[in-house]
Every structure is written in C-alpha cells, then in structure tokens.
C-alpha cells in the first residue's frame, strides 16, 4: 500500500502552477500507476476543500455535493480538484486500485512536525512562547460572530490519524473519501489554555491582527462529520484536545529530545 501524504500544504502559497504540478498532477500520476499495477493507495485530502464551511462538513463523495464546495485558497482548490477527479472515475465505473481512500485531514497536531516551519500546528507555534514566560499570540477575530480566540477548529491528535491509517491498511475492503478530525470543534483559546495547563503555567494570551493576506480566506469554524468512517467499522474513540496536548507537551515538546 502507498500512503501518499506529500504536497505543498501552505495555505498562503500563491504560485498556482507550482501547486497544480505538486498536488494535482503528481497525485494523478501516482494514482494512475496504482491503478495499472493494482496497488492500494491512501492519499491526503484536506478540510481546506470545504472553504468557509457554508456547505457544511459532510464527506459526501457524490459529484453533485462536491461541486458545491468552494475552497478559499490554491492549496484547498488543488486537493478538491483531485477529489473530484476520483469522484468522476467512480461515477464512470472506471478501473480503480484494489483499495483507495482519501482522508480529509482537519487540524492535525503532534510530534515530528518541526520541519514544517510556518505550517506547524498552533500547539507547536505557541509552546516556545509559553515555555519562555511570554504571552501566547493568537489571531484576533475579524468576524463579529466570533470573539477573539473564539475561532473554532477541529483539532485532531496525530496518534489518531495514524490509528485510522493503519486501520485502513488492515481493512482493504474500505474505499472512499473520509473526514479525519476529532468530530468536535474547539476554540483556539481552549487550545492555548490547554498548552499552559500542560506546561504548569497560568495562561497569558495576546491577540494580534490576522494578516491581511489570509484575512478574507480564514476559516472561522471547522468540524468533521465522522459518521461515514464509523459506518465503515472504525470504532476507536478520538483523543480529547486536553489529553492530546498533554501528551504532546509532556512527552515531546518539554523534553530535551522532542523526537523521542
């Protein structure tokens, strides 16, 4: 089986040609190779395909439901176009790999993401601020429906992501496009407070303006509907935000070797 996770995952990348080459064309070539050689494949889609969330977060793989989604950036668009390509193949009864699954990753956090720079999780970004005694910086809300720090995302512990992927490895009969989040939206303020508690410090939050380059493309709410994956037989509970952050901080970020 191939687990195809590679992509330009920056939501601020503006070179659309570069993103198309890396995220769509390469994925298409790899998927077609798996079809010809009958090799199983799991690939990374993204919650960025849902855009502003106005169409909900249902991982319906039908052509019509997918056509309603409007991603807010080139990264989300590239993932969405690939999902739609496979939906068309299924609709046309085209030959497919013996197993294929796309995973719409929500906000994944956890160890060994340190090479990702600006694309690291918020936990990894604010922990050094927390550890040094400085105030953790979060984006101010520019939406009247959300308070500062009240923006909500579905944060999912990387251990749960690995669990789903290895479950797919053991269940070759499962095919389709699936959300992969915790199934529960939590605020960035909840996240920051959990980091402080795990570090044994009192919370101190500073709000800064969301950069203009992403302000009108910012997702204020995401929450994975997990019913389709569970209906296929996945039954393991997902890790709470507090437990995941505690495991991340105390097992990795707070240790001299963050990779243990």
Instruction: Enumerate the active-site residues.
Output: 75, 116
Structure tokens at 131: 């550890």
- Rounded to whole angstroms, the Cα distance separating 112 from 161 reads 14
9-12-15 Cα angle (round to 5)? 85
Give me the helices (H) in the chain, please: 16-19, 26-37, 63-67, 74-91, 122-132, 158-170, 188-199, 212-215, 227-231, 241-248
- Rounded to whole angstroms, the Cα distance separating 34 from 98 reads 9
């Amino acid at each position: 089986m191939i687990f195809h996770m590679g992509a330009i995952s920056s939501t601020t990348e503006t070179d659309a040609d570069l993103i198309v080459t890396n995220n769509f064309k390469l994925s298409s070539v790899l998927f077609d190779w798996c079809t010809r050689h009958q090799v199983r494949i799991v690939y990374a889609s993204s919650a960025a395909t849902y855009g502003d969330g106005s169409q909900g977060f249902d991982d319906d793989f039908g052509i019509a439901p997918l056509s309603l989604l409007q991603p807010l950036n080139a990264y989300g668009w590239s993932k969405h176009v690939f999902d739609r390509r496979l939906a068309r193949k299924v609709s046309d009864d085209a030959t497919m790999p013996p197993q294929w699954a796309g995973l719409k990753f929500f906000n994944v956090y956890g160890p060994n993401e340190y090479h990702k720079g600006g694309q690291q999780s918020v936990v990894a970004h604010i922990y050094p601020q927390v550890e040094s005694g400085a105030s953790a910086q979060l984006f101010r809300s520019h939406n009247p429906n959300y308070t500062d720090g009240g923006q909500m995302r579905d944060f999912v512990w990387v251990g749960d992501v690995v669990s789903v992927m290895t479950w797919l490895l053991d269940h070759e009969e499962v095919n389709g496009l699936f959300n992969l989040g915790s199934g529960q939206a939590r605020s960035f303020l909840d996240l920051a407070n959990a980091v402080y508690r795990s570090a044994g410090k009192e919370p101190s939050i500073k709000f800064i303006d969301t950069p203009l380059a992403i302000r009108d493309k910012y997702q204020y709410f995401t929450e994975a509907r997990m019913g389709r994956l569970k209906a296929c037989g996945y039954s393991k509970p997902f890790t709470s935000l507090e437990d995941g952050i505690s495991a991340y901080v105390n097992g990795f970020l707070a240790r001299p070797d963050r990779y243990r």
